[in-house]
Amino acid sequence: MKQLGLKRDLSLLDLTFIGVGGIIGSGWLLASQAASSVAGPSAILSWLIGGIAIILVALVYAELAGMLPEAGGSVRYPQYSHGSLVSFIIGWGGWLSWVATPPAEAEAITQYANNYFHIFFNDKTGLLTMSGLVVSILLTALFFVINYFGVKLFAKINTSITWIKFVIPVGTAILIMTFGMHPSNFVSHGGFFPNGFSATLMAVGSSGIIFSLQGFRQGVELAGEARNPKRDVPLSVVLAVLICVGIYVLLQIAFIGGLTPTMLNKGWSSLSLDAPFAQLAAAVNLGWLAIILQADAMISPGGTGLVYTASTARGILAMAENGYLPKTFLHIHPKWRIPSHALIFNLIIGILTLLPFSSWNKIIAFVSVTGVISYLLGPVSASVLRRTAPELERPTKLPGLTILSPLAFIVAGLIVYWTGWPNTGYALGAVVVGLVIYFYYYLKGNFRSRHLQAGLWFAVYLIFIIVFSYIGSKSFGGLNLIPAPYDTILFAVFSLLAFFWATRSGYRTEEIIETSRKIADGEY
């Protein structure tokens, strides 16, 4: 694909490690504690549920990425299947999530560093101090600088960092399980489900689990810069998810078992460790490991911040290519061959997000909801393109797509709902507000009315999620007009109906016709 002059430098190892680097970030340092405080020992199941959900979605994206490897693929695929309205909502929601992730990783680094400097984080308010805010801004800017000097430099640094990010979490889990396990933790303080099964589900979206796992798609966003995209992109997506789900489950088991009686004396909901795994290591006299973990608290989130800085710029590039952002974002730096204007814009917005979300715990629910919204169209687009573009080669053709696609769609929708009110209201409200930008370009005559017809279902579905979350089970922050488990059952039924409406709304768009022609003529 000859797309906008981007340079093809990424190998299978690079793409896999970009996925792993996107998944293993601040989540491994902080999400185990956050999930345990919500769900107790059943947080182990929360990771498995989140992992299964992400694997379902990842398999669908593997087919799409192999068929149409493009920079900003997750924004382009809905454009091919439904036109501009759906693609805009996906791109806007995804961008809200992605642009806030590098600052979130910077906040995690700053929070861990506070364990030594004691000036970056206010334990009473749970927020960054002014010094902490400045450090987080500088770290966010550092992610930008490394990405600015080319994808090859980014890939080299990220691959080196990811080896460290892989070895240290696995080694930490094994050492804590060997020297500091307390098996009684899995049944004491309220049992395995201290807050009920609904808390297990809520932890999936609100405690950093989906926030951590959603990094799988970064390889898809950088498909336009892969050496052999049809083979390497799908394979790297699946490999990254499988590797990381295994690591996170192992870490959650180690965290729960490694807590000392003193740490648990006020119950699961009162867990409050500044540097969870470092403090567990110190508690079992593994001081050298605690020092390594403090250092890794900069490396792991830093690697993820690098990955998201790269992929978010490609998302802006794709949105500009679709016609609903200014053409200046199509600019490719003549020397470094990177989308420089998009990188600069994201840096400015990323720094601004640090102001309302001045702690890691505050930002992850917002990032999770907006991120998962952007997954909803993977299953839909894959199903529609099977019908509207059957002539396209699919190196990774997913068997059983008629079952897996609606299942992946339903599970992704449920994760949004389980994140709980008012998180859903804030995040989806921000997505809906973004439609003002879309209709500005629509009224200028950039898009056809057919695009509105094809996207109506999605606007209705988002409004449905907001309303349902507000009136749903009290377990997820609602008014309890629809109590558990009937809320989850009813939500799944409505989501299935939305999926069928979505697939029937798709059509053979102008973009897929043109791309199909280019592929046939060898111009893609």
The CA distance from 210 to 204, in Å, is: 6
Number of domains in the chain: 1
Classify residue 2: in a domain, yes or no. Answer: no
Give residue 423's pLDDT. 83
Residue 29 has pLDDT above 80, yes or no: yes
Q: Output phi, psi for 208, to 5 deg.
A: 95, 0
Q: What is the pLDDT of residues 357-405, one digit of tens each?
A: 888 777 887 888 888 887 888 999 999 999 999 999 887 788 889 999 9
User: pLDDT band at 345, cuts 50/70/90?
Assistant: very high
Confidence at 8, pLDDT banded by 50, 70, 90: low
- Residues 487, 484: Cα–Cα separation, whole Å: 5
pLDDT given at position 174: 96
Q: Is residue 205 one of the residues assigned to a domain?
A: yes
Average pLDDT taken over every residue of the chain: 85
118 is a domain residue: yes
Q: What is the tens place of the pLDDT at every residue in 461-475?
A: 999 999 999 999 998
Full 3-state SS string of 21-39: HHHCCHHHHHHHHHHHHHH
C-alpha 153/C-alpha 201 separation (Å) is 40
- pLDDT of 319 above 80: no
β-pairing, 127-128 vs 121-122, is antiparallel
Q: Are 39 and 203 contacting, i.e. CB atoms less than 8 angstroms apart?
A: yes
- Which residue range is the domain that position 38 belongs to? 12-405
Q: How deeply is 426 buried, as exposed, middle or buried, from its count of CB atoms within 10 A (0-12, 13-18, 19+)?
A: middle
Q: What is the C-alpha to C-alpha distance for residues 462 and 413, in angstroms, rounded to an integer? A: 10
Confidence band, pLDDT 50/70/90 cuts, at residue 3: very low
pLDDT at res. 1: 46
Kindly state whether residue 157 falls inside one of the protein's structural domains.
Answer: yes
| Residues above pLDDT 70, as percent of the chain | 93
**Cα-Cα-Cα-Cα dihedral sign, residues 57, 63, 68, 70:** positive
Asked if residue 362 belongs to a domain, the reply is yes
Higher pLDDT, 5 or 18: 18
Supply 294's token pair.
């403090």
pLDDT in tens, 259-291: 998 899 889 988 878 788 998 999 989 999 988
Of 149-163, 236-250, 256-270, 460-474, which range is least confident?
149-163
Q: Residue 471: inside a domain, yes or no?
A: no
pLDDT for the residue numbered 403: 94
Q: Are 270 and 251 in contact (CB under 8 A)?
A: no
Is the pLDDT score of 153 beyond 70? no
**pLDDT tens by residue, 31-61:** 999 999 999 999 999 999 998 888 888 888 8
Q: Is the pLDDT of residue 133 over 90?
A: yes
Structure-token pair, residue 524: 């893609």
Question: Which residues make Cβ contacts (< 8 Å) with residue 165, sequence separation at least 6?
Answer: 20, 21, 24, 25, 28, 296, 299, 300, 303
Q: What is the CATH number of the domain that holds 212?
A: 1.20.1740.10
Longest dimension (CA), the chain: 68
- Residue 326 confidence (pLDDT) above 70: yes
| Number of other residues whose CB lies within 10 A of the CB of residue 437 | 14
DSSP string, 351-420: HHHTTT--SHHHHHHHHHHHHHHTTTHHHHHHHHHHHH-TTS--SS--TTHHHHHHHHHHHHHHHHHHT-
H-run or E-run covering 122: strand 121-122
pLDDT tens digits, 409-422:
999 899 889 888 98
pLDDT for 475-514, tens place per residue?
Answer: 888 999 999 889 999 999 999 999 999 999 999 999 899 9
Answer with the residue of higher pLDDT: 55 or 71: 55
